[in-house]
């Protein structure tokens, strides 16, 4: 099952950030959160983003589908400045999934059809999407809030896939799950990447996951990319002493 047809025709770069700066107001003061983030994510690849809590990882994701806008700098999605995109269309093409996989009151089917209602797209066989993410169609009439954490995350991914996104932003999507469910969701995401040629920006606290799934890895501290490298090289020969320190400390836990 193929969710989007334009994979082969896309620009080589899915997402490009150019010198992004962002400040948030905190108790009346302006606090810098991103201090000039630049980088490219090639089409169809997986980028893993790691770093301590508060480093700015989620903020980077929020910028890519215009949940927030930068104070300075430019973000390009498929070569087009996000400011030039129609927001609805951008959010259809740039899907986002979170740790919590929030569900609305109602059945699995109603939750699954949410993007259809929001965007007015046509959906003929909703059960196909459930099947794709490994959920039985028997679940369609169940209350979504009654699903297990792993099932909710699958449903959340199915809901995102309905929009046929070319890019997926993932924020700690396996953090709340037990080890087995986390691995299953990880496998599912890798399959989506492989079969749909979906570009993935994947924020995770799980360093072995970042190492397993990534092709490129960014390590961020205090809103700055300290090190960006192909994932294998990043983990086997980290160049920056702060990266080495972070990897050693985390591995000891």
Ligand X SMILES: Nc1ncnc2c1ncn2[C@@H]1O[C@H](COP(=O)(O)OP(=O)(O)OP(=O)(O)O)[C@@H](O)[C@H]1O
- Note the residues at the interface with Mg ion (CB under 5 A): 58
Between CA 112 and CA 126 the distance in angstroms is 8
- Of these, 53, 105, 122, 241, which contacts ligand X (CB under 6 A)? 53
3 state SS of 16? strand
The least CB distance from residue 223 to ligand X, in Å, is 7
Q: Which of 13, 23, 35, 58 binds ligand X (CB under 6 A)?
A: 58
Q: Measured on CA atoms in the order 145, 57, 95, 228, is the torsion positive or negative? A: negative
Residue 105 buriedness (CB in 10 A; 0-12 / 13-18 / 19+): exposed
Report, in Å, the least distance between residue 46 CB and ligand X. 18
H or E segment and range at residue 243: helix 241-252
Specify the residue, 44 or 56, whose C-beta has the smaller distance to ligand X: 56
Which of 212, 155, 153, 210 shows the shortest CA–CA distance to 185?
153
Nearest-approach distance from CB 162 to ligand X, in angstroms: 26
Q: Does 149 bind ligand X (CB under 6 A)?
A: no
x/- map, 23-52, ligand X, by CB under 6 A: -x-x------x-----------------x-
**Whole-Å CA distances, 34 to 46, 64, 69, 110, 117:** 22, 14, 12, 37, 35
Write down the H helix ranges in 43-162.
57-64, 87-93, 108-112, 114-119, 126-132, 149-161
Question: Which lies closer to ligand X via its Cβ, residue 25 or residue 251?
Answer: 25
Q: Which of Mg ion, ligand X, none is residue 59 near (CB under 5 to 8 Å by kind)?
A: ligand X
Beta strands at 29-42 and 13-26: parallel, antiparallel or unpaired:
antiparallel
> Out of Mg ion, ligand X, none, which partner does residue 24 contact, by CB within 5 to 8 A per kind?
ligand X
Sole window of 55-63, 77-85, 113-121, 125-133 interacting with ligand X (rule: CB under 6 A)? 55-63
Which helix (H) or strand (E) is 219 found in, with range? strand 216-221
Among candidate residues 139, 122, 142, the one with its CA nearest the CA of residue 130: 139
CB of 33 to ligand X, least distance (A): 4
- By a kind-dependent CB cut-off of 5 to 8 A, residue 53 interacts, out of Mg ion, ligand X, none, with ligand X
Contact between 31 and 22 under an 8 Å Cβ cutoff? The reply is no
State in angstroms the smallest separation of the CB of 182 from ligand X: 17
Local structure of 29: helix, strand or coil = strand
Binding test (CB under 6 A) with ligand X, winner from 10, 37, 55, 130: 55
Q: Which is closer to ligand X, CB of 56 or CB of 238?
A: 56
Minimum gap (Å) between residue 173 Cβ and Mg ion: 12
Instruction: Enumerate binding residues for ligand X (CB under 6 A).
Output: 24, 26, 33, 51, 53-59
């Amino acid at each position: 099952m193929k969710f989007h047809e334009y994979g082969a025709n896309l620009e080589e770069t899915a997402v490009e950030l150019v010198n992004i700066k962002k400040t948030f107001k905190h108790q009346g003061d302006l606090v810098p959160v991103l201090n000039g983030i630049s980088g490219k994510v090639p089409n169809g690849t997986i980028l893993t983003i790691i770093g301590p809590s508060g480093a700015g990882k989620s903020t980077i994701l929020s910028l890519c589908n215009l949940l927030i806008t930068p104070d300075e700098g430019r973000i390009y999605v498929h070569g087009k400045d996000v400011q030039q995109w129609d927001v609805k269309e951008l959010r259809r093409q740039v899907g986002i999934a979170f740790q919590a996989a929030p569900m609305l009151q109602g059945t699995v089917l109603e939750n699954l059809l949410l993007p259809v209602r929001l965007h007015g797209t046509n959906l003929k066989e909703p059960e196909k999407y459930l099947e794709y993410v490994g959920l039985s169609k028997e679940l369609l009439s169940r209350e979504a809030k009654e699903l297990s954490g792993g099932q909710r995350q699958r449903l959340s991914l199915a809901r995102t896939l309905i929009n046929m996104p070319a890019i997926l932003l993932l924020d700690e999507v396996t953090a709340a799950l037990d080890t087995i469910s986390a691995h299953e969701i990880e496998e599912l995401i890798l399959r989506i990447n492989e079969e749909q040629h979906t570009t993935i920006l994947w924020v995770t606290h799980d360093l072995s996951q970042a190492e397993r799934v990534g092709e490129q890895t960014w390590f961020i501290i205090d809103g700055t990319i300290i090190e960006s490298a192909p994932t294998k090289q990043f983990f086997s020969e980290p160049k920056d002493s702060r990266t080495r320190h972070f990897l050693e400390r985390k591995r000891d836990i």
